């Protein structure tokens, strides 16, 4: 009689266990990679939303920024300026349609302007905080609670 050789039940179970460990580790790495890439994506959008008023205010200059800080600047001329109120959280979703990408509509922004001195130069420190507006997909993916950017606008002499 010829003897057949095959795998025993224990060998099959060990092989299945090793295969399961390898597959679970691959799935975990894939999930972690996805979380990291989505965090970077939404952080980039938040940085862009925070950078916009900083660039606008630098372009407007010290005198306009002083009026803005006092609440006397006219923001009605531009939909971008209307989306930059001073001292209160502004939901980006409330901005004119098409002004921001749809992913940015899940964010809110707080702009504060405070007088500051830097090396004897008179100016204003602008702080822009961007955070998820509510419990949204941004809140799920973004690892930080708030993204903050600061800038300094000085008086020309």
Residue-wise pLDDT tens digits, 45-64:
999 999 999 999 999 888 99
Q: What is the mean pLDDT of residues 106-111?
A: 93
d(CA 131, CA 43): 10
> Is the predicted pLDDT of residue 29 greater than 90, yes or no?
yes
Please give the backbone phi and psi of residue 145, each rounded to the nearest 5 degrees, phi first.
-80, -40
Encoding tokens for residue 144? 């930080």
Residues near 81 by beta carbon (within 8 Å), at least 6 away in sequence = 56, 75
């Amino acid at each position: 009689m010829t003897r057949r050789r095959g795998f025993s039940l224990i060998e099959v179970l060990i092989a299945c266990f090793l295969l399961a460990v390898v597959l679970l580790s691959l799935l975990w790495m894939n999930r972690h990679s996805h979380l990291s890439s989505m965090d970077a994506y939404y952080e980039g959008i938040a940085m862009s939303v925070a950078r916009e008023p900083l660039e606008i205010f630098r372009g407007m200059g010290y005198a306009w920024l002083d009026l803005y800080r006092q609440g006397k600047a006219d923001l009605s001329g531009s939909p971008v300026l209307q989306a930059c109120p001073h001292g209160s959280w502004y939901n980006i979703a409330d901005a004119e349609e098409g002004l921001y990408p749809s992913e940015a509509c899940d964010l809110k922004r707080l702009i504060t302007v405070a007088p500051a001195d830097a090396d004897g130069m008179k100016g204003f420190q602008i702080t822009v905080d961007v955070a998820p507006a509510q419990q949204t997909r941004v809140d799920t993916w973004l690892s930080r609670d708030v993204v903050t950017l600061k800038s300094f606008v000085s008086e020309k002499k």
